[in-house]
Amino acid sequence: MTIEVHVDYDDGGFAGWVLSSAGPEAPVWCQIVVDLEHRASILADEFLPAIGDRYGGRCCFGFSYRMPVVLCDGRAHRVDLIFAFEKDGAAVHYGLPATFRSFGAPATGETDGPATAHAVCRAQDLPIRLLEGTPDPESMGAAAPAILVTAPRRRMVHAPPREATGAAGFGHAEYVTHPAYLSVLADVVVRPATGAVYVPGKGVWQDARYLSDGGRLRSDLERLERDGAAGLPTLPGPVLLASSAMNRNYFHWLMDVLAGVQAGAQAFGRLPPLLLPPLNGWQGDALRRLLGLPPEAAIPAALPGSWSEDGPGQGLVRCERLIVPSHLGGTAIFPDATVRSLFARLSEGLPQHPSARRRLFVSRRDSDRPRIVNEAALAEALAPLGFELVVPGAMSVEAQARCFREAAVVVGSHGAGLVNVGFCVPGTTVVEILGSHYLNSCFYHLCGLMGHDYYSHTELVAPHNGRAGNAVSFYVDIKRLLVLLERIPALRRGKAEE
């Protein structure tokens, strides 16, 4: 068994790929040690067949890591990377020679306090084992801490639904989803509002893509180190975490939180009580639809309705057994079966309209992070083609699902509202408008998973230092977009039928 590694560094971290002889079922871990201190452990889990083909068809997986702010100080740091996998009970380790690298200082305004690091609890501190059958969640109360894998450890690789014609905005022609992971943790502390999990004596449990802000993490860790978990409200039985730092975002509520709840329901047959953040109206509506509850029905929550972040514990609770659904740092897309069943559950009871062929232009005019400066002019240009402007943020969850189930073509800029393409019938045409400064492939993945025909229109946008890429607005070249739309078969067929 052999392993080969290629790494490229930049001012913010590094990225690279691993060639492994162990095959796709053996995950490759990368331990990151900086200045002789363990910083994190990540999975090399992005399937890269094009590179593997150049090396005799071997399995090739990509990885990337962004250095924490505390290390982006312009000084030289020693970096050691150690790769490991198991095959047939034998462990293979490969360590790269130590290298000394400097990482750029953070832009002004990006930090919310002194740049102090926080410890990270590694995922492979726990054994990984395959979940067999559908055990009762109560049995997890006495189970040893472990990471439960809901399917064999292999990558599901899918081709896109059509041949690339030059319109696609992503260079890769395949994508990968992973099995769902359910981490069973013992005696941990949780901040339900953000989904942050603290393991006493080890730090933050970092197995998901998003964590809360560094300032909050640091203050919580300092408090726990000083006072311990004594006096915190305690939940004795197994509870399932249904929160994340991005839970107020519609995309992440569906694709991270509710998909995690669905993964738990599929794994255990019945759900344990849910550890939830404070819910707003649409979050509660979506969760009730998923659980099959009538409107206003009580949700099986682990915390009483009277619980408040201002009460005992100041927003922290202790869990004797916590189940954390996660894709362990994957692409924010849960496995195929989980996502398809999620949207099927959310759509239950809604009428089918096989003859309804609406054309939707998804507006973001209600968002505090607009994408298209000339959206009004674009909507006016699309109207003669039969497009109607919809504002998902102004609609209920049920109304969004009804609307998108009737769509034949969806056009919109990258944003949370596009997650509604999960409600569309297979074969729907989706055109995503992107800026070159923020090429996020999540909707490309989602469209492939749901069987949609995906296109993208990309505008060249200059980088904006000190601002998040998804917060930058840009203009759309309307004439160039219309040329793309004319090339799309579904739109050509519609024009011919008229």
Series of mean pLDDT values for 10-residue runs along the chain (498 residues): 81 85 70 82 74 73 79 82 75 81 57 42 66 82 79 53 41 57 90 90 67 74 87 91 91 92 90 94 96 92 83 88 76 74 92 78 84 93 96 94 94 94 93 85 84 88 63 89 90 60
Backbone angles phi and psi of 53, in degrees to 5: -65, -30
Pairing of strands 120-121, 37-44: unpaired
The angle formed by the CA atoms of residues 480, 482 and 483, to the nearest 5 degrees, is: 65
Q: What is the pLDDT of residue 64?
A: 84
Task: Give CA–CA dist 31/39, Å, rounded.
Answer: 8
Residue 400's pLDDT is: 96
pLDDT of res. 126:
73
CA 141 to CA 322: how far, in whole Å?
9
Place of tokens 């404070």: 278
Query: Who's near 361: CB < 8 A, 6+ residues apart?
Result: 378, 379, 382, 387, 388, 389, 390, 411, 412
Where, residue-wise, is CATH 3.40.50 in the chain? 358-497
Terminal alpha carbon distance of the chain: 61
What's the pLDDT score for residue 59? 76
Q: What Å distances lie between residue 161 and 204, 253, 264, 451, CA to CA? A: 39, 26, 29, 6
Q: What tokens appear for 356 in the block?
A: 């309804």
Looking at residue 139, its pLDDT comes to: 83
Q: For residue 357, which of 484, 495, 160, 449 has the smallest C-alpha distance?
A: 495
| pLDDT score for 338 | 87
Q: What are phi and psi of 330, to 5 degrees?
A: -75, -145
Residue 297 has a pLDDT of 93
Q: Does domain 1-108 have CATH number 2.60.40.10?
A: yes
**CATH no., domain 358-497:** 3.40.50
Identify the pLDDT of residue 22.
Answer: 65
365 contacts: CB under 8 Å, gap ≥ 6: 375, 391
pLDDT value of residue 276: 96
**Which pLDDT value is given to residue 168?**
41
What is residue 333's predicted lDDT score, i.e. its pLDDT? 65
